[in-house]
Structure 1
């Protein structure tokens, strides 16, 4: 009994020392107070990571929120900003600078009228920076008159001239006792003995000839004599019969021409009938080359009926040059003499015949040949119908005859300046000169042909042109005759035209980025002001722009030389000079941007023009901005 009391006291003591139950208030205090430092450290790391990831976005928003609002006058649509030194540079904002001279832009009111649309025939317009022009490798050349010819290259085979082929046949029956020429390919000359023929009929006829002569029977004598001549017996053989007084037993068959034996049909001792073939002979002093011309080149060939008229065929004979692998680089000259009337449907070609002199027999029948057919422009129907009429040609040629040196290129071109354009083109066509552009300048889009023309420093426009057939000059450079779209003196792009066209057509925006251009303009888009860059060849560009003026204005502009408003600018350096009249006197300006200033101060402008005319090479150091 006493032993159980201590145990009960001990149990009650343990029950009193059990920890109290923890509630939500305890855990809240634990999270906020005990782990607060650790939690803040983790949160700080997350914030830093987010800032690093979205740094560009946050920076963009910051610039957007802190960007100052533009002034009212800067965003007003009533004004625009331009470069006083280069008026064609126009911007909508004042914070930009001129890309040419890098000077600040000046403000002016926008013009009420729309910009001038692209002229007819111009497809698009684009300009490039000087650096991009150099990077793209753009080069220009002047459109001028060039001596051209159409060259057609054909392939054919050397053949015998059919007009020189001869076949020798037996004119009387008999036996061939001797063949002097018994090998094929032997060379024979006129009068050479070919064969010796025994004929009983020859014996009878020659005896009749002797009897008629002795008996004085003229009728029988003439009959026998004529029969011998028809058999091919020559006069010396007949004279030998009459002189010897014995009938002939053998007939010598002689060569009637010079040539080669190309076939032998008989052997010695063989009996032949009258008309039996003996030899085939061919004269190789002239040979034929049968070539093939594609049907798209048939338009350049003379009409078929001309070859049936000997006089016209001789006048229209086209020169050709033939070469063969067997003769190396040796060239053989000849003429086109015939065109077959039918086209081979399988090859779509027409056969043509060239006749080539072959005095040394170097051209052997059966060898392949390459023939170049040279057609002058005056014999191409398309060019003749477009450029010249007979009356215009006669008038132009009459003036050329009076020229001191009409055959030289310089004398020809100087004389043609006095001739109307139609007659001048006809005369140039007669001498083989055509207004042409290099092949590298032409871009064929499939629907039209385009040439890029330089109209201002680093400013180009795509021009739709009408061209003639592809031709060659004397150096073998390919050109296209210009029928419409360009004039003499225009600057056209000859290198880099394809790259320029590809960028402006496929992606104008990308083209602007790639070339560093200020923009492009197409004929189906709203026109916009173009921005010029520095000139690559200022003198050539000035000559090209001055050439667009009439002759009388061109002389006055050349004398004035500089713009009276911006006297550092030569006339023609910023495009075609602008002509205005001040008090009845003509004044030339470098660009339309100077017209307002000139009209506001007419007396000062005229005084400047007079000084420029008196001292054309003097420029004032100060100029208005």
Structure 2
């Protein structure tokens, strides 16, 4: 019976303790070590638990506990995203320690001058402004040739060839006849005829002095340079249409560079050019674009650009192969980010935006031109915003799984225009730069339009498809008009309507790119309030 009594007492005490302990804890009666233990346990339970661990260099490698990646690196914990007013789909939070371990580096969207470079090749040519082709003005036979090989240097006044011509003999005899008759008028006419036949002045003066007709007349070099295109030998019968030889000057040379079609728009007259040649390692020449040829080569699809270089030392020789860099900066400010910040995919370009406090988000951007270090951002970023330039691929892979690739606060909301998710239209002044048929699929119009403030667009050139309702035949290159641009949710744009002012029907008029005043389109709507 004693054993039964003891067991009953123990069970009863346990039940009473379970029921009474919460009440005593609330009254502060329990010993202090029990309260301390309870507090530690609550603090431990309040810490967030990682969802999983991921490899720093491969987001597809996941584990449910800490460890090492296949590359021997510590796995990184990934926590559940806490909701809040400052978060959006795709926002990733990372602790400062992990940011340091990943080597995250940041860059900024800033206004810079676009230092575009066109790297291409070129060929040294004669300065054709100083290239002379030598033709006889009579027919006859080459009795003696004083130059024998192309590429030989010649000096001004150096003898080139002797020619026998019956016409020259007759012209000399006419001068002697005029001298014998002492007729000033006939003498002047005979001397003028000899000079028109390019008979050297020294030969005329010798004839006046000796009164003897020379059977062979020597002709001399009209300028110093290099002999080229030598097409005669001694004994040749020549006529006025025969090109005897050419003499090219080398004090200044031309270099014809070839620019690929996609970079043709960057080439500008007056742009600085740097040229190097394998023949002279470590040496460079500085010049400027002198002329841009009006048409592309049909076979190579390249545009020729002419550059002048000083060549007083005659180091540059025709047909030399050169490496050419054209510095095509337009001296305008563009919104730029470092090139390494861009993540290019088949469908879109995006960057990882640093939101602060260890938060990151992948967003889509529209890119423009680029140089060696920076790329232009046409849409998606604003000046002063921070982007990730190193380790962004891991952040992007985590963010892109749930990201909407949009800004946390839409630009349209900042501008006061609600984004209803549907097509948006805006009227803007523009100049037609090109019109191209798309082989039965409509037309493509290239236009330079004024800024569109509600979309955050600057003044720029764009190619637009044209809606079927627009009469493309009424458009001409150079026309300044008003166009309605429609923007669709899938990032497609098109010209959906046009308004052609009466004075814009003259092709080739100069654009007046001043801000638009209130205009009324052909349908009678006030364009200053419709879409503007």
TM-score, length basis structure 2: 0.56
In the alignment, what sits opposite 2:37? none
Aligned match for 2:330, one of 364, 367, 377: 377
Partner of 2:305: 352
1:481 aligns with 2:381: no
How far is 1:351 from its partner? Answer: 3.6
Alignment of 1:181-330 (within 5 A): 181-302=147-268, 316-330=269-283
Task: Report what 2:340 is aligned to.
Answer: 440
Distance, in Å, in 2 between the alignment partners of 1:524 and 1:328 is 51
Deviation at 1:479, TM superposition (A): 0.3
The alignment's TM-score, normalised by the length of structure 1, stands at 0.48
2:385 — aligned with what? Answer: 490
State the partner residue of 2:351.
451
1:123–1:462: 8 Å Cα contact kept in structure 2?
no
Equivalent pair of 2:252/2:309 in contact (CA under 8 Å): yes
CA distance in 2, matches of 1:186, 1:123: 76
Cα distance in 1, alignment partners of residues 185 and 363 from structure 2: 89
Pairing 1:139-158 to 2, within 5 Å after superposition: 139-158=105-124
| Equivalence for 2:526 | none
Counterpart secondary structure, 1:363: coil
| Contact 2:267–2:326, Cα closer than 8 Å, also in 1 | no
Aligned to 1:116: 85
1:531 aligned residue: none
Q: How far apart are residue 340 of structure 1 and its match?
A: 4.2
Which of the two has higher C-alpha Rg?
1
1:150 CA drift (Å) = 0.7
In 1, the alpha carbon distance for the partners of 2:120 and 2:231 equals: 36
The equivalent residue for 2:367 is 467
Which structure has more relative contact order (CA 8 Å, sep 6+)? It is: 1
Q: 1:95 aligns with which of 25, 38, 45?
A: 45
Take 1:275 and 1:377, find their aligned partners in 2: how far apart are those partners?
Answer: 48
Q: C-alpha offsets along residues 549-577 of structure 1, whole Å, 9 cap, x if unaligned? A: xxxxxxxxxxxxxxxxxxxxxxxxxxxxx
Aligned equivalents of 1:326, 1:94: Cα separation in 2:
74
CA contact (8 A) 1:117 1:523 kept: no
Task: Give 1:470 deviation, angstroms.
Answer: 0.5
| Larger fraction in strand | 2
Of residues 320, 334, 339 in structure 1, which corresponds to 2:287?
Answer: 334
Offset at residue 360 of structure 1 (A): 2.5
Structure 2 CA distance, aligned partners of 1:168 and 1:356?
A: 25
Aligned partners of 2:238, 2:348: CA distance in 1, in Å?
72
CA contact (8 A) 1:125 1:522 kept: no
Q: Quick check: 1:142–1:489 contact (8 Å CA) kept in 2?
A: yes
Task: Flag the 1:523–1:207 CA change in 2: closer, same or farther, 3 A.
Answer: closer
Task: Give 3-state SS (helix, strand or coil) of 1:159's partner.
Answer: strand
- C-alpha deviation, 1:376, in angstroms: 1.5
- Following TM superposition, by how much is the alpha carbon of 1:461 offset from its aligned partner in structure 2, in angstroms? 2.8
Change (3 A) 1:344 1:195: closer
CA distance in 2, matches of 1:169, 1:250: 17
Aligned partner of residue 91 in structure 2, secondary structure? strand
- CA deviation profile, 1:199-244 (whole Å, cap 9, x unmatched): 3432332232133134232332222112111121233332332233
What is the rounded CA distance, in whole Å, between the counterparts of 1:523 and 1:163 in structure 2?
A: 58
Partner SS for 1:468: strand
> In the alignment, which residue of structure 2 is the partner of 1:563?
none
Render the CA deviation track for 1:172-221: whole Å, top value 9, x for unaligned. Answer: 33343332212221111222211122334323322321331342323322
Instruction: Supply the distance in 2 between the matched residues of 1:449 and 1:176 (Cα, whole angstroms).
Output: 71
CA shift at 1:137, angstroms?
A: 1.5
Once the two structures are overlaid, the 10-residue window that deviates more, 254-263 or 286-295, is 286-295
Greater fraction helix = 1
Partners of 1:160 and 1:282 within 8 A in 2? yes
Q: Any stretches of 5+ residues in structure 1 without a counterpart?
A: 1-70, 72-91, 100-113, 303-315, 379-428, 473-477, 509-520, 528-625
Question: Who is 1:604 aligned against?
Answer: none
Contact 1:123 1:464 survives alignment (8 Å): no
Number of aligned residues = 336
Residue 434 of structure 1, CA deviation: 3.8
Aligned partners of 2:317 and 2:163: how far apart in 1?
32
| Deviation (angstroms), 1:496 | 1.3
Cα distance in 2 for partners of 1:290, 1:481 equals: 29
Residues 141, 492 of structure 1: 8 Å contact kept = yes
**Cα contact 1:195–1:252 (8 A) shared by 2:** yes
